[in-house]
Amino acid sequence: MTSRDSRDETVGQSRSSFCPDLQNPDSTVERVGFLDPASRFAPQGDGGDGSAEQGDGRSSSVQGDGGEGFAPQGDGGDGSAEQGDGRGSSVQGDGGEGDGGEGFAPQGDGGETRRVILVSPRGYCAGVDRAVATVERALDIHGPGVYVRKEIVHNKHVVNTLRGKGAIFVDEVDEVPIGSVVVFSAHGVSPAVRIAAQQRNLVTIDATCPLVTKVHKEAQRLAKAGLEILLIGHEGHEEVEGTQGEAPDSIRIIEQGDADTVEVADPARLAWLSQTTLSVDETRETVARLRSRFPALTDPPSQDICYATQNRQSAVREVAPQCDLVLVVGSANSSNSVRLVEVALDAGARGAQLIDDVTQIIPEWMSDVCTVGVTSGASVPDYLVREVVDFLQTSGFNEVIENQCIDETLTFALPPEVR
């Protein structure tokens, strides 16, 4: 079992509250990490550039041209997350009944009750849902033989399912036959990839998440202003490659450990951006360390880490102190899933494991475990989580409690080519 003591290093800090403002690391907002994009997608545009500006969950709306924007509206108040009386509700098994309260203290039949805390929100985010639906719709329209550059999302079950329906996954567009249909993945592509597709006369369908497109637009604007850009992210990740490709002469990729050593051309003309799926705490620390060296560091115009990444991390952070073990369903190449394991450990879970599906659960992990938290990354279909819960119930965890932190209702319109 991955434990807090066995890791090579501790990433971030444990926090009982969450501060969504990376640009002001001293601010503390109790449980405001749960961004509430409560309204549905607004298809009418305003003639803008189509990028999706991400707010803080309050009642603001930004639409793009042709429907690429979204309206992330909260309750119209100060942006704080509403806590309902269903937070401690329990789904009762045959071992007794829970008290429905904040303490999650179910009573068993004389022995110690073993329980599962099902963390919510979890699973598909709006960008992943849009990307998967884009490939499915393209297959409906064009039939089997639709190509997809890279994995549409980082989940092997999703990729295998789409492959079974006729999608063909390739690494680069030069593998796609001239004139064929190709879908760009949710992680985005660089301008060089688009040019290569045009040269092969490919029919392109862009399933890039609008929140990634937003970061691309920010990179273009900052580079045009003559700023050097430090892109906080993981070298080799498709999203980072796509963003860097928007301004390769202006962007340098850095990871957390580089903040104390990176050298820049002009500290007075410096900005930062980030990959959308990073740990919120890690990114906040990295920015703070950069700013201590470069006080003139320019912030992005809005939050880069996406609402779903923040919400899932905040939900895990809240539940982790109650858990002997947290199981995160997600693939190893999914950045946001890996981050959830780290967040669980930092927040107080005794152990945490990343699993693709129920078959990867090792029985020894359950030794001396009474409470298991279960969550999933943003590219994981929920049936995989349900299979894990079913397994735990048949293994003696006779109470399932759903810790519902917020309902996510944000959606993105499909690309015009498949509407």
**228 pLDDT higher than 60:** yes
SS3 181: strand
Bridge-partner residues for 232, per DSSP?
A: 254, 274
Instruction: Give the separation between CA 223 and CA 125, rounded to whole angstroms.
Output: 29
What's the CA angle centered on 335, arms 219 and 204, to 5 degrees? 55
pLDDT higher than 60, residue 44: no
- Is the pLDDT at 66 greater than 90, yes or no? no
User: Is there a cis peptide before residue 20, judged by omega within 30 degrees of 0?
Assistant: no
Name the one residue in this structure whose structure tokens are 């917020």. 406
How far is residue 169 from each of residues 31, 83, 164, 322, 413, measured CA to CA in Å? 40, 43, 11, 41, 23
Catalytic choice (151, 218, 238, 239): 239
User: How confident is residue 10, by pLDDT bands cut at 50, 70 and 90?
Assistant: very low
Residue 303: what pLDDT?
85
Asked whether residue 340 carries a pLDDT value surpassing 80, the answer given is yes
Contact between residue 345 and residue 3 where contact means Cβ atoms under 8 Å apart: yes
Crossing angle for the helix pair 335-346 and 307-319, to the nearest 10 degrees: 30
Cβ burial of 328 (10 Å; 0-12, 13-18, 19+) is buried
pLDDT at 149: 98
pLDDT at 230 over 60: yes
Pick from 307, 357, 362, 358: nearest CA to 336: 307
Q: Is the pLDDT of residue 99 over 90?
A: no
Position 290 scores a pLDDT of 98
* All domains of the chain in start order, with CATH: 2-16+81-124+307-404 (3.40.1010.20), 37-78 (no CATH), 126-209 (3.40.50.11270), 213-293 (3.40.1010.20)
Instruction: Give alpha helix (H) positions in 95-180.
Output: 126-142, 156-164
- Three-point CA angle 235, 155, 385, nearest 5°: 130
Report whether pLDDT(56) > 70.
no
- Which pLDDT value is given to residue 119? 98
Average pLDDT, the chain: 80
| CA neighbor of 125 nearest in space, from 158, 94, 173 | 158
The pLDDT of 332-349, averaged and rounded, is: 97
Higher pLDDT, residue 405 or 207? 207
* pTM as predicted: 0.75
CA 347 vs. chain centroid, Å, equals 18
101-131: per-residue pLDDT in tens?
333 333 334 457 899 999 999 999 999 999 9
Q: Is the pLDDT of residue 190 over 70?
A: yes
Dihedral of alpha carbons 183, 160, 390, 330, sign: negative
- Average pLDDT estimate for 226-230: 98
Average pLDDT over residues 246-253: 98
pLDDT score of 2: 52
**198 CB burial (10 A radius; 0-12, 13-18, 19+):** exposed
CB burial of 63-88 (b: ≥16 within 10 Å; e: otherwise) equals: bbeebbbbbbbbeeeebbbeeeeebb
| Paired tokens of 130 | 């849009």
Tokens of 67: 């429907």
pLDDT tens track for 119-162:
999 999 999 999 999 999 999 999 999 999 999 999 999 999 99
Rounded to the nearest 10°, the torsion over CA 84, 105, 94, 119 is 50
Burial of 383 by CB count in 10 Å (0-12 exposed, 13-18 middle, 19+ buried)? exposed
Would you say the C-alpha torsion 53, 56, 62, 65 has a positive or negative sign? positive
Supply the pLDDT for residue 115: 98
Average pLDDT over residues 175-200: 98
pLDDT at 74: 36
Quick: pLDDT tens for 277-294: 999 999 999 999 999 999
Active site residue 235: no
Dihedral, CA of residue 353, residue 354, residue 359 and residue 363, to nearest 10: 0
% of the chain residues with pLDDT over 70: 74
- Token pair belonging to 347: 């927040």
